[in-house]
Every structure is written in structure tokens, then in C-alpha cells.
Chains A and B, each alone.
Chain A
Amino acid sequence: MTDSSQHAVEIVGVTKTFAGTGSKRAKSQGDGTVVALDDVSLTVSPGEFVSLIGPSGCGKSTLLRLIGDLDEPTAGTVSVFGKTARQARIDQDYGIAFQSAGLLPWRSVAANIELPLALHRFGARERRDRVAELLSLVGLSDFGDKYPEQLSGGMQQRVAIARSLAEKPRLLLMDEPFGALDEMTRERMQSELVRICAETGAAVVFVTHSIPEAVFLSDRVVVMSPRPGRIREIVPVALGDDRGELLREDSRFFAGVTAVREALHGAPAASAVRGVESR
């Protein structure tokens, strides 16, 4: 085993360019190619919660897609648990959830959660037991027979999260999963995600637009800048294992929010003394 197998995710010198004018991910260069990510390196430890935050076009979603092997890097390497991203995808080493729940409207809630298990030919009994377990984990035990259209947006997103956990992945990739939810539902979902992560021990790479969300959830917040997409700063937050609702009014939480905000917008004059790590 090489040293890199210690990491859940290891990204080394990754660059991603999109050819032509089709992409809106980042600013285009003279010849029409778009540099979405420029020489990005990042490691995520097993069980660690890492958020990617930054303005539109900073390549945070692209980075997540590279980890999941939904796109391939132009240069550099992405490894997941010491394997190539492609092999990790084929081995189903990660679960994934998107901003849109992406449930299949013609399948019941239970059948949607069961989908990855059915595709990978798990036995009927195992599937049924696992679905029941996941429904209770996301608090939807009474809704297994319902159809997605009968559920609220927050409930649909909980189904999508249950589905991403179906095969007990050691890595969760989440692309703004709470982006379309109202603020109250969002905070409740965040608390649930903290609990679910504690129960499953999975590493998480979490893309978000929201500073408080990133601070509340993360061990580390990766602040990115656009045009071309680069990591500007990595802010360690790690507010501990006991993250109840009170934490949202805790001074450590506010300090984290301030630190991430300053990293995003550049340090204001008053706190210019703070060292900003620039890459």
C-alpha cells in the first residue's frame, strides 16, 4: 500500500479546461477554451468533512465532478482511497447527491432509495432491510410507499441523501444538496447531516454557496476563487462533535464565519494583520 491510500481523496495538480464556447463554468480565454480549474491540489482524510465554497465559476462543482469521475481532469491526478477516480466509481466507493434531488418520479420513495442496490444486484431481503434502515435514518419511515411528487422539497432531498448512503460509502460527494431549500428546512437538514455523518463515519466533500452552512458542517472549509478556479485558502473550523442548534449562536461559530468571509472577499482593513495564505 502506498502512502496515498491513507487519504479518502487526493487531488494533485489538477487542471480542467473545457474546449469551445459551450461551457459557462469559467471565463474563456482568447481561443475559446475555458479554464475551470488551474493546478488545484487537495487531500481529504477518511471521516473528514470538507466544504468547497466560492463564487460562481470558481470550479467547485467541477472539482466535485472530477472526484466522482463524472468528468475527467485535463492534467493532474485524482485518487480516491488510493485508486483512480474511475476505479473508485466502478467499485462504488462513494455516494453522491446533487442540488436537484434527481428522484425518478415513476418510482416510489422506497424504490428510489433501493435504486443503487437494485442496479448492483443486492438480494431482495438485503435491499428491503437496508431501505427500511435508511428510511428511518432520514426520518421518512412512513413515506416509503409515497411518490416523489407527494413529498416536499426537503423530504425529497432527504430521500436523495438516503439513496446516496444506500451502499454505506466511505465517501459522500454532495453538490449544494440544500441549495434549493428554505432557510429553516436547510438548518434542520444540516443538523441531520451532522448526525448522519457521525453515525456513518463517512468522509464528505460538500459544495456550497453558504458561508454559515460551510462553517457549521465542516472540519475544513476550502475557499476558492474564480477565473481561473484556484484554492485561495483553506480555513480550519472543526467546531467539535457536539454541534447542536446552540452552536449557531456560539462565538466560535461567528469567528469561523468571519474567517471564511474574509478569505472569500479578501481581508478588510481592520483585520489586515491576519495572515492570508495565498497560493
Chain B
Amino acid sequence: MNDVTEAVEGYTCPAQRALRHLDAFLADPMCGQCFPCALGTYEARTRLESMTRGEGTDDDVRVLERIAAAVLEGSKCRKGKDAARFLAEAIATPGFGEHAAGVCQDRECRSLTTYAVASDICVRCGACKAACVNDAIFGEPQQAFRAGYPAFEIRQRRCERCGECAAACPHGALRATDVALARGRSR
């Protein structure tokens, strides 16, 4: 079970933690001997994948709650019951249900998050550009003898929403937004 605990280290988002946990559980400790656990955890993973991709609905949350309860009650051994308990705790954690509305508060579900440069704050220092591993930031660093260049911009198609730029920005000019909000999606 060590792999399973290690798999969720470094994640705060309850949906991500539940997904990583089930991925690791299905990859190794799950023995497949009894139906509720073998079929239920598989279904739960499918639903979590959809939620972390931003395609989740309130129905997914209800189904996940049902799976957690039924696997806890019906599975044969402790491994299945432990997986069900972990899932139940994740679902009960604040922020989980918001995924159905397209919001990941912890900014760990990349499909739910988008990054943008606030042009009024950006000083074009270049720290974000240096931090970006995908070369997704467009713009020329500030030089003392030049003026009139626009603020930095993120090329969304290249951006993998890792959040490294936001961490690197000394001025807080890089902001994470919910995809749902950015697209004006309403639920």
C-alpha cells in the first residue's frame, strides 16, 4: 500500500488525490477478487478522470458517493474498504464538489485552470519566461533604453498550466483563473 500513499503526496486538490490514489490502487494492490471493489473502483476512476478534466457533473459526485458507500459495505477485504474510505474522505473535503462546476480551487486540475498576465502589473522582468519549460510566454524583457513594448502574454495553446510562471513572478502579475469563468461558462 506504500505506492498508494506515495502517489498522492504533493497533491492538495481532493479530486486529484482521489484520482491518484485509485490509479495506484488499480495498478497494484487491487486483487480483483470481488465485484464491488474491482468494478466499483474502476468506475470511480472513470468518473474522477472526467471531473478532473472539467467534464464532471453533479451526477458524477452522486455516483462517486454511492460507489464509496457501496464498496465500503460490499467489498471483501480491507484493501477495498480502505480505498472506499479514502474516496469518501476526498468527496467530503471542501472544494471537491466545485469540480462539477468547473472549479479547482487548488489549481491542480490543469484542465480547469488557465493562466494570464495582468498587463497593468507586469514589469516585463522576464522571470516568468525563464521559468516556463514550454516556451509559452511571449514578450521581450524590459530594457532601460527601450520603451513601448507590450506586456508579456501567455500562448494558451502551448501552456500546460503547470503554474511555474506564477510561482516565479515577483510581482504577482500572473494569475490563475477558472476555465469556466474565463469562457463565461455557467452551470
State whether these chains interact. no
Mark A residues whose CB is within 8 Å of B: none
Mark B residues whose CB is within 8 Å of A: none
